[in-house]
Copies of this chain bind each other. A is one copy, B any other.
């Protein structure tokens, strides 16, 4: 008997997950679930899912694995709805950016052995199934954060699925994930949204954006991301986001003092330290900026 996978939330992530599995020859049936029929029909047309329902209880009937790719604040009401409908042995995993909140929300299922919190470190600033593509996860990390209660077999099966998409699966604990992602993903999104909002409020805003160069375009690309998704992330991962946000502001205050005092040595040392760290860890050897 081949497996049945239900994907709830067939957008950029859910849609790409489905497309990647199909491309890799996933032998089971993929059922899509979401609120917008048009998007689900489009997901069928794109070959991502085999069939769909807008009723999540119907969508998970007979499912072996349920993959949740909805905004973080939609998780709790969704999981409450699923609590009764979910087949007892179904594995539940997700793609959310905040793992602590997901573990708390998933407690309503009463079956923590079958819950595998997960987060693919991949995405684009676009959203919706139209933006999905089969290679989104290739050579990208997927972080699974099993708790002490999560069953090994459940982790193994979720790992297998992700590996079919070309992703590199790693595991860490919930708190480490949330702290690291707050720093590398949630904080930069806040800073970028904040910068564009600050500039949009300035009197010369038309000129400001006209004078923006490629560096600004790159720097603010993530400010074109889905506002609703990022609102949810900020609230779901609030404590870790606040911690790094406050820390960054302290550092920014020191940086401001260096500028105020025209402290060239201090500025140079800071910029060199940053450049060294970035070049060492994230150099773009193939990028020539053209």
A: which residues have CB within 8 A of B?
73, 121-126, 131, 133, 135-136, 140-141, 143, 172, 176, 179-181, 183-185, 187-202, 204-225, 227-228, 230-232, 234-235, 238, 241-242, 244-249, 251-253, 255-256, 259-260, 262, 264, 267-268, 270-275, 277-279, 281-284, 287-290
Task: Find out whether the CB atom of B180 lies under 8 angstroms from the CB atom of A207.
Answer: yes
Contact between A211 and B224 (Cβ–Cβ < 8 Å)? no
Known: A121-B213, A218-B221, A224-B275. 14 other contacts (CB 8 A): A73-B264, A122-B214, A124-B290, A141-B210, A180-B211, A185-B215, A188-B195, A194-B255, A196-B275, A197-B274, A198-B244, A219-B222, A227-B271, A234-B267
Q: Are B197 and A184 in contact (CB-based, < 8 A)?
A: no
Query: Taking each of A141, A192, A215, A227, which has the highest tally of chain B beta carbons within 10 Å of its own beta carbon?
Result: A215
Bound complex: CA A43 to CA B19 (Å): 49
Question: Known contacts A180-B204, A187-B195, A218-B222; is A245 also within 8 Å of B235 by CB?
Answer: no
Main SS class of interface, A: helix
Contact B190 A224 (CB under 8 A): no
Closest B-chain residue to A279, C-beta based? B224
Q: Which residues of B contact A190 (CB under 8 A)?
A: 255, 259
A212 → B minimal CB distance (Å):
4
